[in-house]
């Protein structure tokens, strides 16, 4: 079994040549993806996330799919992908090779989740515009627009640090130093996401059509959030 590397290990290309690190790519993928289910906390987190996502999709699909449906459908896909790929990078990687691979997966899929959130935004914005409805009139909408902005900001920060650190920060080390901001912003954004979903419960659409219930969503989303924060290693976001 190889030793888990420190958080300060190089992000790109690190670990090549270390004993036991050179593994077949499928084995590497299997080991990295096992972060999603190989501990009690990961399984509990999966349970909370999957139950919430299935519960909401089930209610959406009970009703005719209209233009508006794109809003919760794509937002939920974004939440699912983001949740999964935060869980993926929480444990310390076993080697530099694992760190690079999990970073690539996290980066690519979370960029995809931001595209999904972008579509979620497009559907509600377009739907309101063609019906001449006013924008940003509720707490859900206020939290939602703030969360979209945080998501975009954090995606750009992550891309800059991981893929183009020299260009944006002047060096790979400077990029790594800024990582704690990306992490902290990531956790804050996920908290905002869950609050935004919960605030949607008060919308007319939910009260009259979807019928999502707080007593179901709070425990399931709460379980996922609790696991996420429980697995957070405080030294990785320490500013002192
Ligand atoms: C997945 C469950 C969700 C449901 C059922 C839902 C439902 C709704 C409903 C019914 C509206 C129209 C009423 C209003 O303006 O408050 C709305 C608007 C809005 N939602 Fe959501 N939403 C969900 C998730 C999200 C998420 C995750 C975000 C952001 C990250 C978000 C951001 C927004 C924004 C910004 C508006 C206002 C758009 C505008 O005024 O043009 N929603 N949502």
Q: 205-225: per-residue pLDDT in tens?
A: 999 999 999 999 999 999 999
Q: Is residue 25 assigned to a domain?
A: no
Q: 100-145: per-residue pLDDT in tens?
A: 999 999 999 999 999 999 999 999 999 999 999 999 999 999 999 9
Cα of 149 to ligand 1 centre, how many Å? 14
Q: How confident is the model at residue 237 (pLDDT cuts 50, 70, 90)?
A: confident
Which residues contact residue 56 at a Cβ distance below 8 angstroms, ignoring those fewer than 6 apart?
A: 72, 76, 197, 210, 212, 217
Q: Is residue 206 assigned to a domain?
A: yes
Pocket flag, ligand 1, residue 197 (CB < 6 Å) = yes
Q: Is residue 211 assigned to a domain?
A: yes
Structural domains of the chain, count: 1
DSSP 171-209: SHHHHHHTHHHHHHHHHHHHHHHHHHHHHGGGSHHIIII
Atom of ligand 1 nearest to the CA of 147: 30
Q: Is residue 226 assigned to a domain?
A: yes
Q: Is residue 155 assigned to a domain?
A: yes
Cα of 195 to ligand 1 centre, how many Å? 11
Which residues contact residue 107 at a Cβ distance below 8 angstroms, ignoring those fewer than 6 apart?
A: 158, 159, 162, 163
Count of CB atoms situated within 10 Å of the CB of 126 = 14
Cα of 102 to ligand 1 centre, how many Å? 31
Cα of 60 to ligand 1 centre, how many Å? 14
Q: What is the pTM of this model?
A: 0.88
Q: 4-63: per-residue pLDDT in tens?
A: 444 444 444 444 455 555 557 889 999 999 999 999 999 999 999 999 999 999 999 999
Rounded to a whole number of angstroms, the distance between the first and last alpha carbons of the chain is 33
Structure tokens at 172: 């790979």
Q: Is residue 20 assigned to a domain?
A: no
pLDDT surpasses 90 at 85: yes
Q: Is residue 151 assigned to a domain?
A: yes
- Give the domain extent around 140: 38-236
Pocket flag, ligand 1, residue 200 (CB < 6 Å) = yes
**Range with lowest mean pLDDT among 2-11, 54-63, 82-91, 161-170:** 2-11
Q: What is the CATH number for 172?
A: 1.20.120.1770
Which of 54, 124, 143 to mutate for ligand 1's pocket (most ligand atoms within 8 Å of CB)? 124
Count of CB atoms situated within 10 Å of the CB of 175 = 23
Tell me how far apart the 2 most distant CA atoms of the chain are, in Å. Answer: 64
């Amino acid at each position: 079994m190889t030793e888990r590397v420190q958080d300060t290990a190089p992000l790109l290309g690190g670990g090549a040549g270390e004993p036991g690190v050179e593994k077949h790519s499928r084995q590497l993928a299997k080991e990295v993806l096992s972060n999603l289910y190989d501990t009690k906390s990961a399984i509990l987190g999966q349970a909370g996330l999957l139950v919430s996502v299935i519960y909401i999709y089930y209610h959406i699909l009970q009703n005719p799919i209209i233009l508006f449906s794109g809003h919760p459908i794509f937002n939920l896909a974004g939440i699912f992908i983001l949740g999964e790929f935060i869980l993926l990078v929480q444990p310390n990687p076993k080697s530099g090779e694992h760190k690079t691979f999990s970073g690539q997966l996290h980066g690519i899929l979370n960029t995809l989740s931001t595209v999904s959130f972008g579509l979620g935004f497009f559907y509600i914005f377009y739907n309101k515009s063609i019906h001449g409805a006013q924008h940003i009139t509720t707490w859900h909408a206020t939290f939602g627009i703030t969360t979209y902005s945080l998501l975009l900001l954090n995606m750009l920060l992550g891309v800059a640090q991981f893929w183009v650190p020299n260009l944006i920060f002047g060096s790979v080390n400077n990029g790594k130093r800024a990582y704690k901001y990306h992490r902290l912003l990531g956790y804050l954004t996920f908290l905002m996401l869950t609050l935004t979903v919960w605030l949607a419960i008060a919308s007319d659409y939910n009260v009259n059509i979807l019928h999502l219930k707080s007593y179901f969503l709070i425990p399931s989303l709460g379980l996922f959030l609790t696991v996420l924060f429980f697995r957070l290693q405080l030294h990785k976001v320490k500013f002192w």
